[in-house]
């Protein structure tokens, strides 16, 4: 792991769910910077560093992606970043509402790095985020395609 801060981009329109993710990171003492956007289009603007809001945006190490969002949903976002060579290597973990939805989405073969089903139990959700962070922050050292 480098000395640089680990940055997570969260694309989630539901404020309650975004709050849960934020809280989970905090309570698990995960030292990651969370950037929150409310739909796929804003997430793409963030990655493409579109002014005026995202001119200085930091490239995330991981993207947490909700599926049902306004304007551009999770599936459209995945298709869009696949077409951009500098973005397609950023791992994307998809947040799904149910196991059924998870199976359906994974069947599309959109190239998600993993899935988290949003649990009803807040404690479970906290655990899931903790496991996810451990895996992606501590174990996986990803190549930086942007600076190649």
Task: Please answer whether residues 39 and 11 qualify as being in contact, where contact means their C-beta atoms are separated by less than 8 angstroms.
Answer: yes
Q: Residue 69, SS3?
A: coil
Of the pair 43, 136, the CB lying nearest other proteins is at 43
> Does 81 interact with other proteins (rule: CB under 8 A)?
no
Closest CA to 116 of 39, 108, 107, 127: 127
User: What distance in Å separates the CA atoms of residue 69 and residue 72, rounded to the nearest whole number?
Assistant: 6
Given 11, 32, 38, 62, the residue binding other proteins (CB under 8 A): 38
Residue 36: CB minimum distance to other proteins, A: 11
> Does 19 interact with other proteins (rule: CB under 8 A)?
yes
Please report, as ranges, the residues that interact with other proteins according to CB under 8 A: 13-16, 19, 23, 38-39, 68-71
């Amino acid at each position: 792991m480098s000395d640089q801060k680990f940055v997570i981009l969260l694309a989630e329109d539901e404020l309650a769910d975004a709050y849960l993710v934020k809280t989970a990171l905090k309570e698990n003492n995960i030292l990651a910077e969370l950037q929150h956007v409310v739909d796929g289009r804003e997430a793409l603007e963030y990655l493409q560093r579109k002014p005026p809001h995202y001119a200085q945006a930091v490239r995330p190490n991981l993207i947490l992606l909700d599926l049902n969002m306004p304007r551009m949903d999770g599936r459209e976002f995945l298709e869009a970043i696949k077409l951009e060579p500098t973005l397609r290597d950023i791992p994307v973990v998809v947040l799904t509402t149910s196991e059924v939805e998870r199976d359906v989405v994974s069947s599309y073969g959109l190239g998600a790095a993993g899935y988290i089903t949003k649990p009803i139990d807040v404690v479970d959700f906290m655990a899931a985020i903790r496991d996810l962070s451990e895996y992606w922050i501590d174990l996986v050292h990803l190549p930086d395609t942007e600076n190649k």
